[in-house]
Structure 1
Amino acid sequence: MARTADRYRKNYVKTKKTDKVYQVGDYLRLSVDSDYTGSDSLENQRKLAQEYISRRPDLNIVREYVDDGKTGTDFSRPAFSRMIADMKAGIIDCVIVKDLSRFGREYIEAGNYIEKVFPFLGVRFISIVDRYDSADADCSRELLLISLKNLMHEMYARDISKKVGSTFRTKQEKGMFYRSATIPYGYKMNGSGTNYMICEQTAPIVREIFKQCGEGISNYAISRWLYDNHVYTPQQYALTGSVYRKPEEELKIWHCSTIKRLLENPVYIGRVIRHQSEQSFFAGKKASPVPEQEQIVIENNHEPIIEKSMFEIVQKILSQTKDKKTESACERQTVVFERNIFQGKLFCGSCKANMVRVGAYRSVNGVKEQYKIFKCSTHRNHCDLCDTRWIAEDLLCDILYGTIRRHLSLIKGIKKKIEKDIRYSFEENLKQTEWKRQKIVSTKNLLEQEYMQKYSDYAEGSISQAAFLQYKSTYHEKIELCGKQENVCAKEVKGIKKCQAALQKLLSDWLCFQNTRKLTETMVEICVDRIELFTDNRVEIKLRYQDCFSVLDSWMQKEV
Structure 2
Amino acid sequence: MARTADRYRKNYVKTKKTDKVYQVGDYLRLSVDSDYTGSDSLENQRKLAQEYISRRPDLNIVREYVDDGKTGTDFSRPAFSRMIADMKAGIIDCVIVKDLSRFGREYIEAGNYIEKVFPFLGVRFISIVDRYDSADADCSRELLLISLKNLMHEMYARDISKKVGSTFRTKQEKGMFYRSATIPYGYKMNGSGTNYMICEQTAPIVREIFKQCGEGISNYAISRWLYDNHVYTPQQYALTGSVYRKPEEELKIWHCSTIKRLLENPVYIGRVIRHQSEQSFFAGKKASPVPEQEQIVIENNHEPIIEKSMFEIVQKILSQTKDKKTESACERQTVVFERNIFQGKLFCGSCKANMVRVGAYRSVNGVKEQYKIFKCSTHRNHCDLCDTRWIAEDLLCDILYGTIRRHLSLIKGIKKKIEKDIRYSFEENLKQTEWKRQKIVSTKNLLEQEYMQKYSDYAEGSISQAAFLQYKSTYHEKIELCGKQENVYAKEVKGIKKCQAALQKLLSDWLCFQNTRKLTETMVEICVDRIELFTDNRVEIKLRYQDCFSVLDSWMQKEV
* TM-score for the superposition, normalised by structure 1: 0.69
Contact map agreement 1:189 1:197 (CA 8 A) in 2: yes
Offset at residue 277 of structure 1 (A): 0.6
Q: Distance in 1 between matches of 2:89 and 2:502?
A: 21
Residues 385-405 of structure 1 show CA distances to partners (whole Å, capped at 9, x for unaligned) of 333322222222111111111
Please give the alpha-carbon distance, in whole angstroms, between the structure 2 residues aligned to 1:378 and 1:94. 37
What do residues 403-438 of structure 1 show as CA deviations (whole Å, max 9, x unaligned)? 111111211222233234543333333344444444
Q: Cα 1:481–1:209, aligned 2, differ >3 Å: closer, same or farther? A: farther
Deviates more, 1:521-530 or 1:190-199: 190-199
Q: Give the stretch that moved more between structures: 277-286 or 225-234.
A: 277-286
Q: Work out whether residues 5 and 51 of structure 2, in 8 Å CA contact, stay in contact via their aligned partners in 1.
A: no
Give the whole-Å Cα distance in 2 for the aligned partners of 1:23 and 1:490: 17
Which 10-residue stretch deviates more, 238-247 or 110-119?
Answer: 110-119
CA contact (8 A) 1:94 1:123 kept: yes
Which deviates more, 95-104 or 351-360? 95-104
Pairwise mapping of residues 484-523 of structure 1 onto structure 2 (< 5 A)? 484-523=484-523
Change (3 A) 1:485 1:314: farther
- Deviation, 1:138, is 17
**Percent of aligned positions that are identical:** 100
Rate the CA distance shift 1:507–1:69 in 2: closer, same or farther, 3 A: farther
Task: Out of 73-82 and 437-446, give the one that drifted further.
Answer: 73-82
* TM-fit CA distance, 1:317: 3.0
Shift in CA distance, 101/475, structure 1 to aligned 2, threshold 3 Å: closer
Quick check: 2:90–2:502 contact (8 Å CA) kept in 1? no
Q: Cα distance, 1:373 vs. partner?
A: 2.3
CA gap of 1:457–1:89, structure 2 versus 1, over 3 A, is closer
Question: Is contact 1:71–1:282 with CA below 8 Å preserved after alignment?
Answer: no
Given the superposition, is the C-alpha separation of residues 455 and 302 from structure 1 closer, same or farther in structure 2, using an over 3 Å criterion?
A: farther
Q: What is the CA distance between 1:546 and its match in structure 2?
A: 1.2
Question: Is residue 5–residue 47 contact of structure 2 (8 Å, CA) maintained in 1?
Answer: no
Alignment match, 2:118: 118
Q: Deviations over 1:434-461 (max 9, x none)?
A: 4444444445555555666666777777
1:264 CA displacement: 1.9
Q: Residue 335 of structure 2 contacts residue 372 of structure 2 at CA under 8 Å; is this kept in 1?
A: no
Q: How many Å separate the matches in 2 of 1:178 and 1:455? A: 80
Superposed CA offset, 1:116-137 (max 9, x none): 9999999999999999999999
User: Deviation at 1:153?
Assistant: 8.3
Greater Cα shift, 80-89 or 357-366: 80-89
| Distance in 2 (alpha carbons) for counterparts of 1:26 and 1:512 | 29
Q: Structure 1 residue 60 and structure 2 residue 60: aligned?
A: yes
Match of 2:459 in 1: 459
Give the Å deviation of 1:511.
1.6
Structure 1 contact 71–281 (Cα < 8 Å) conserved? no
Q: Is the 8 A contact 1:178 1:195 kept in 2?
A: yes
> 2:90 and 2:227 mapped to 1: Cα distance?
54
Q: Is the Cα–Cα contact under 8 Å of residues 24 and 61 in structure 1 kept in the other structure? A: yes
- Which secondary structure state, in structure 2, belongs to the residue aligned with residue 204 of structure 1? helix
Per-residue deviation, 1:528: 1.1
Which residue is equivalent to 1:529?
Answer: 529
Change (3 A) 1:7 1:340: same
CA–CA distance in 1 between the matches of 2:255 and 2:529?
25
Q: Which moved more, 1:111-120 or 1:202-211?
A: 111-120
Out of 457-466 and 202-211, give the one that drifted further: 457-466
2:143 maps to 143
Residues 546 and 244 (structure 1), Cα distance of their counterparts in 2 relative to 1, 3 Å cut:
farther
Change (3 A) 1:240 1:436: farther
Q: 1:15 to 1:177 in 2, by over 3 A?
A: same
Contact 1:63 1:505 in 2 (8 A): no
Higher deviation after alignment, 492-501 or 307-316:
307-316
Please say which of residues 366-375 and 521-530 is displaced more in the overlay. Answer: 366-375
SS in 2 for 1:212: helix
Greater displacement, 470-479 / 109-118? 109-118
Q: Does structure 1 conserve the Cα–Cα contact (< 8 Å) formed by 2:408 and 2:511? A: yes
Maintained 8 Å contact 1:347/1:354: yes
| Structure 2 gaps, min length 5 | none
Kept after mapping to 2: 8 A contact 1:94/1:125: yes
Instruction: Tell me, yes or no, if the aligned pair for 1:74 and 1:283 is still in contact at 8 Å.
Output: no
Which whole-Å deviations, capped at 9, do the CAs of 1:251-275 have from their partners, x for residues lacking one? 4322111111122223344443322
The alpha-carbon distance between structure 1 residues 427 and 40, as it changes in their structure 2 partners (threshold 3 A), is: farther
Q: Secondary structure at the match of 1:330?
A: coil
SS at match of 1:532: strand
The Cα of 1:219 is off from its aligned counterpart by 0.9
- SS of structure 1 residue aligned to 2:238: helix
Name the structure 2 match of 1:157: 157
Q: Comparing 385-394 with 186-195, which one deviates more in the overlay?
A: 186-195
For the residues of structure 2 that align with 1:446 and 1:225, how far apart are their CA atoms?
75
Deviation of the 1:74 alpha carbon: 8.8
Instruction: Find the residue that maps to 1:66 and give its secondary structure.
Output: strand
Question: Is the alpha carbon distance of 1:59 and 1:489 closer, same or farther for their aligned partners in structure 2, counting shifts above 3 Å?
Answer: closer
Contact 2:332 2:368 in 1 (8 A): no
Matched, 1:376 2:403: no
Count of aligned pairs between the two proteins? 560
Moved more, 36-45 or 396-405: 36-45
